[in-house]
Amino acid sequence: MRLRGVRTAKVALAATVAYAVAQPLSSNARPILAPLTALLVVQLTLYETLRTGLRRVVSVVAGVLVAVGFSSLLHLNALSLGFVVAASLVIGRLLRLGSELLEVPISAMLVLAVGGAQSAATGRVAETVIGAVVGVAVGAAVAPPLYVRPAGEAVQNLAQEMSDVLRRMADELTTAYTREQASAWLDAARGLGADILRADRALTKADDSLRLNLRALRTPHAGVSLHSGLESLEHAAVALRAVSRSLLDRALGGSPEQVYGEDVRLTLSELLRQVAGAVEVYGQLIGAEVAGAGPHEPELQAAQDAAWVARDRLTELLRTDARVHVHAWQLHGDLLANIDRMLREIDVEERTRLRESWDQPRDRRGPAEAVLDGLKGRNFTVVPRRRRRRPPRRRH
């Protein structure tokens, strides 16, 4: 658990150290620019801190060079100032300085304000470099944060939300569902997109925190686990929307019996309940991988086995149900195919193979040998066709 106030303490420490370091090295008696730079450089993650520090140094140097270059050619007035600002902004955009873009014209104007004096230019650059270096050093030395666990919780929360939607559908399928209920299922499935976006943002933050962070050595496979888990759940969410769409189309159809019979509905309800359990366990498995806890493969295997049994039973009922209208078979096929996709996306064997690949030794060949083998066509790994543990029946 991360302590509160750590970033505040880091910023205050960086500003203090930057001022103390800059005092004997700067010609300015009060080198306030150094602590100001350190304050702006320290970010949530070490990678962001380093990137901000480099951008700030580049922007200040660019602004100083613009001011020094134009100071001997132009007199400072309204027109020349506007020209310098425009030129500084163009240079900043060419350098892709992002949020530090405005520092280029600011530095140029401050140097021009003192007549382009060399002492002012070198002093501003020196203080900026000192502040940036101190900010990066403090950011690296004092509790560089890892945001891996919050990302794991976001992925696990997505799995839980998807499981809740499936259980809601399973509960309401025990009776002859209405068009309004089916439409609500589809809306709930579509609403998972917001949870996917939240998880994706959490993963982006976790990726930044893992970069250049020595603490990331404790969890070397966290990024792979999170991204693969989120990708699988995202694909499963797409399949869930298609399942909801099929059930709604069935309720909107023009056949004499607009919804399935009781035996079909009860079996489908049990199937969705088993899929919900498998999705929930899959999310717990991702969280366990990130936290370094024990794996949940046996639980996921049991949940998937029960789901595949229910899936086969549903296929038999649909195939032999004389009440099913002939024009509804396309909807049955879509329903079963998308349930298959959901189960394949959270396949326990695929997850186990991924975990095993983390522990395989890396290629010990040198870069020259790897390149030569690649040119000869021998450096490509043949990925075997994914073998489904229980192939679906295609007789519907």
Q: What pLDDT is attached to residue 200?
A: 93
Q: What pLDDT is attached to residue 115?
A: 63
Q: Does 377 fall in a domain? A: no
Task: Output 11 or 385, whichever has higher pLDDT.
Answer: 11
On whether the CB atoms of residues 310 and 267 are closer than 8 A, the answer is yes
Name which of 91-100, 176-185, 288-297, 335-344 the model is least confident about: 288-297
Average pLDDT over residues 201-206: 89
Residue 327, burial from CB neighbour count under 10 angstroms (0-12, 13-18, 19+): exposed
Average pLDDT over residues 317-328: 62
Name which of 5-9, 86-90, 277-281 the model is least confident about: 5-9
pLDDT band at 33 (very low <50, low <70, confident <90, very high): confident
Q: At what angle do helices 118-141 and 46-71 cross, to 10 degrees?
A: 180
Residue 242's CATH number:
1.20.58.220
Q: What pLDDT is attached to residue 377?
A: 43
In whole angstroms, what is the distance from residue 130 CA to residue 134 CA? 6
Q: Give yes or no for residue 97 having a pLDDT over 60.
A: yes
Q: Are residues 190 and 322 in the same domain?
A: yes
In whole angstroms, what is the distance from residue 158 CA to residue 109 CA? 50
Q: Give yes or no for residue 44 having a pLDDT over 60.
A: yes
Q: Are residues 107 and 178 in the same domain?
A: no
Q: How many other CB atoms sit within 10 Å of the CB of residue 361?
A: 5
Boundary residue ending a domain (141, 164, 190): 141
pLDDT band at 362 (very low <50, low <70, confident <90, very high): very low
Q: Give yes or no for residue 284 having a pLDDT over 70.
A: yes
Q: What is the pLDDT of residues 246-267, one digit of tens each?
A: 888 877 765 444 557 788 889 9
Structure tokens at 291: 């936290």
List the domain range (segments joined by +) for residue 209. Answer: 148-363
pLDDT band at 161 (very low <50, low <70, confident <90, very high): very high
Name which of 126-135, 280-289, 325-334 the model is least confident about: 325-334
Q: Are residues 126 and 215 in the same domain?
A: no
On whether the CB atoms of residues 34 and 53 are closer than 8 A, the answer is no
Q: Does 390 fall in a domain? A: no
pLDDT band at 376 (very low <50, low <70, confident <90, very high): very low
Q: What is the pLDDT of residues 120-154, one digit of tens each?
A: 778 888 888 888 888 888 887 776 777 888 888 99
Boundary residue ending a domain (85, 110, 141): 141
Q: Are residues 123 and 246 in the same domain?
A: no
- Three-state DSSP class for 31? coil
